[in-house]
Amino acid sequence: MRKLRRWLLFGLGALSLFFAALALLRWSAVPAQKVSEGVKVPWGKNLEAAARADDKLIFVYRAGEKFSPQVQKQIFENYIAAEFDPQRWPADNEIFGSIISGGGDRAMLFGILTPRLVPLFLTSKRDVVIDGKKVDLAALLSTTSDFYRQNRLRVYETARIVEREKLASATVPASGKATAGGVAGRGIKAESDAVSKFLSGASAPASANAVFSESVRLGVELHKKIPSPELGSSLSAAAKILSENIADRARKFCARLLCARALSEYAQQFADGDAKNVLAAFADEVLAQQHSNGFLYGPADKFPTLRANAIGAGFLIRASKVLARPDCLKAAVIVSDRLARLADTPADLPAAANFDGESMASSAEYALLIGALIDMCDATQNARYLEAAKRVLGKWDENCMAADGVWSVNSRNSRFFGNGRLVTMQDGSVPCYIGEGLQALRKLKRLDGAFNLSAYSRLVDFAAGLRNSDCGDVPLCPSVKLAEFQ
């Protein structure tokens, strides 16, 4: 017994020495790093504090971007490196795109910010061009950091100039008075002709994803009012393009879901067997991607996004009707139940529906979520989805509604709210959240007669100004116009 005890003590001692040596090797091989020595700080609430504590400029870059060793050396020696994931920060992503392109839909690849997160330089291109000349990125980073160390006041003044010039496009535009415009003012026939002309035009397939998908949805509603052979023919051709987009697995998951939502509404109105076959195949794919936690994941998604799940629930509800498939409705109920829990989130809605890491939803997520919950109430006649939609609406108003009565894309708790409140006025990669929001409000009023729609009169006036605008052959804000048919 004593011999056994000695062997046990010896073994434990040897193990202790082994683990101590292993810890010493790890400590010596990978020295402890501080932010000042180049550790990345994710985009989020801790970034500004880290940058101000180290008094360094911030180099922000899109997740997945790679840089040369020379550029990496400059970043890690002289900057706080901040990896930016647009799926986690969709509102900030839109602000970046607006600064770069003055309201366009461009993706920020990298940029330089002051420690207070005011942009000095942002780009959507890998080659840096300043005043028409290509500039070496490593040299730009070195020069900028040197200049910052030598004269911080001038850098902050430059930042304020950039802020005034670039963020001017990220402010709230004046909203107009409601006039006889939109579908009602223009007339069903004239609007039908305009949508038909767009959908049959050569530029339609290359237009932004939601411009095309929401124009198809608008065309279906117009055709219900006044059947038109020309519009019917244009919709049939558009359905083929939607089918191709859905079958293209290289497209983003949300883009395919929006196309499927539009094709479902088309197939509900028109007897198109090919469209139904495409929808059935895609429904099978979506159902196969429903995780055990109830959420839908895109093929490349590391976490379930609120955006994709809200659009996905809406698609599955429509697919259950047009394909007569109870399994689609069952899956939509599971997704909607998970999404309904977000209504009681204490602060801002997360962009990651399962709260995987830090994230913040944009107004697009709020609008799409409210619409999905109302659609689920309509499909199941279960009032709890309606109540959840109202709670989300209250949260949206609290976080994103300004004194002028218009929702901004970013929450008052976001990093850029103090510099610029972006209002998206057009459909782009996703539908205009003002359009989606108005559709949801009108559905809400239809399901709940006591709902006070007049509280949103300023928003209705603002949307009327959008509907009255002319944009040539491209339908302006089809998602806003769709609200008139809810």
pTM of the model: 0.85
Per-residue pLDDT, 22: 31
Pick the CATH number of 35-170 from 1.20.1050.10, 3.30.1950.10, 3.90.1150.10, 3.40.30.10: 3.40.30.10
Cβ neighbours of 448 (radius 10 Å): 16
Judge whether residue 24 has pLDDT over 80: no
Long-range contacts (CB closer than 8 Å, 24 or more residues apart) made by 470-474: 473/194, 473/197, 473/198, 473/201, 473/203, 474/198, 474/203, 474/207, 474/211
To 10 degrees, the CA torsion angle through 66, 71, 77, 80? -50
CA distance 14 to 6: 12
Spatial contact of 355 and 348, defined as CB atoms under 8 Å apart: no
Domain ranges of the chain: 35-170, 182-485
Q: Could you tell me the CA-to-CA distances from 367 to 234, 289, 397, 439 in Å, in that order?
A: 29, 24, 11, 9
Each residue's pLDDT tens digit, 45-67: 889 888 889 889 999 999 999 99
Strand 128-130 relative to strand 79-84: parallel, antiparallel, unpaired?
unpaired
> Is there a shared CATH topology between the 35-170 domain and the 182-485 domain?
no
Dihedrals φ, ψ of 471, to 5°? -135, 40
pLDDT for 202: 87
Residue 6 has a pLDDT of 42
- Which whole number is the average pLDDT over 142-152? 86
CATH classification code of 182-485: 1.50.10.20
Mean pLDDT of all residues belonging to the chain:
83
Phi, psi dihedrals of residue 407, rounded to the nearest 5°? -75, 135
Q: Which of 156-165, 186-195, 324-333, 477-486 has the lowest mean pLDDT?
A: 156-165
Question: What pLDDT sits at residue 172?
Answer: 42
The pLDDT score that the predictor gives to residue 180 is 39
pLDDT band at 332 (very low <50, low <70, confident <90, very high): very high
Q: How confident is the model at residue 420 (pLDDT cuts 50, 70, 90)?
A: low
Q: Rounded mean pLDDT of 251-277? A: 96
